Amino acid sequence: MTSDATTPLPAAVLWDMDGTLVDTEPYWIRAEHELVAAHGGSWSHEQALELVGNPLTVSAELLQAAGVDLPVAGIVDHLLGKVRHQVDAEVPWRPGARELLAALGAAGVPCALVTMSYSVLADAVVAHVPGAFTTLVTGDQVSRGKPDPEPYLVAAARLGVAVGECVAIEDSPTGITSALAAGTRTLGVEAVLPVEPRPGLSRAKSLVDVDLDVVRRIAGGEVVDLLS
């Protein structure tokens, strides 16, 4: 099934950042391993994967439990600094992300960035795609982070659109839960974790496979599964 030009595009597209727009999850995981090791603790790859998509304060508390002898704010600042340093050297765009952003911009669809990373990192990333995002909702701007729906509800409110008329693009189970709970049509794109089937969830292996036609179909209520 394909859409046509009469099928409306969404009122907005709401993008996750880490793992969806940019391939920074390996940066976070490396920084976590190094920090725990420096404090004499133990940290596994499986534990690192459990932090994907979490609010940074939640991740920091789990790192404290693993042996990091720093306050939560200190852990957050350390991780942000490590990842920001690598992003400043080179932005690791996810395949197809900039192309889809450009197509949405050309079609007049506003985009918001909805991330649990803080403004210091999000600002550095979006500076490389000037004008692509109308607003940024970051982890230091909300009181309840993903998987709570608040970040996506805030993004829609800032854009002045109904959240149910938006399409969210996510990669992590935590982020997908947040977007679905907010009531937005949601596309899960695989990164470091598999995207398991859920009612109402569209899926794709890569944004390379996602164009305006796919976005139209999802906005229209179709569940598009490019993984099955």
Per DSSP bridges, beta strands 12-15 and 185-189 are unpaired
Cis? peptide before 10, omega within 30° of 0:
no
* Helices first, then strands: H and E counts in the chain: 9, 6
| Gap between the Cα atoms of 80 and 17, Å rounded | 14
| Gap between the Cα atoms of 219 and 203, Å rounded | 14
Of the residues 4, 16, 88, 140, only one is catalytic, namely: 16
| Gap between the Cα atoms of 151 and 109, Å rounded | 19
Two tokens, residue 216: 């139209």
| Gap between the Cα atoms of 56 and 134, Å rounded | 24
140 is catalytic: no
Largest CA distance in the chain: 60
Of the residues 4, 18, 23, 69, only one is catalytic, namely: 18
69 is catalytic: no
Residue numbers annotated as active site: 16, 18
